[in-house]
Amino acid sequence: VQIGDVVSVYAELLSVGRTSMKIDVTAWRRARAGLESEKVTHATMTFVAIDDDGRPRAVVAQP
């Protein structure tokens, strides 16, 4: 990714567990003057909800 590129980031919620969520993230770049997009990275991330003491807490799924 270069300065001036247009970067698009897309995320999709894959699953919600009792204390965590798994999210799929993909980033694409397009040169400012270009028409073609190129995938630059992809990750599947797991986020864990924690309470004030740093312990996992329940996640409430939203519709």
What is the CATH number for 6? Answer: 3.10.129.10
Dist CA 12 CA 3 (whole Å): 26
pLDDT tens-digit map of 1-60: 999 999 999 999 999 999 999 999 999 999 988 899 999 999 999 999 999 999 999 998
Per-residue confidence (pLDDT) for residue 63, from 0 to 100: 66
Six-digit token string for 57: 């807490």
Q: What is the number of structural domains in the chain?
A: 1
* Domain range enclosing 62: 1-63
Has residue 61 got a pLDDT over 70?
no
Do residues 14 and 52 make contact, with C-beta atoms less than 8 angstroms apart? no
pTM of the full structure = 0.77
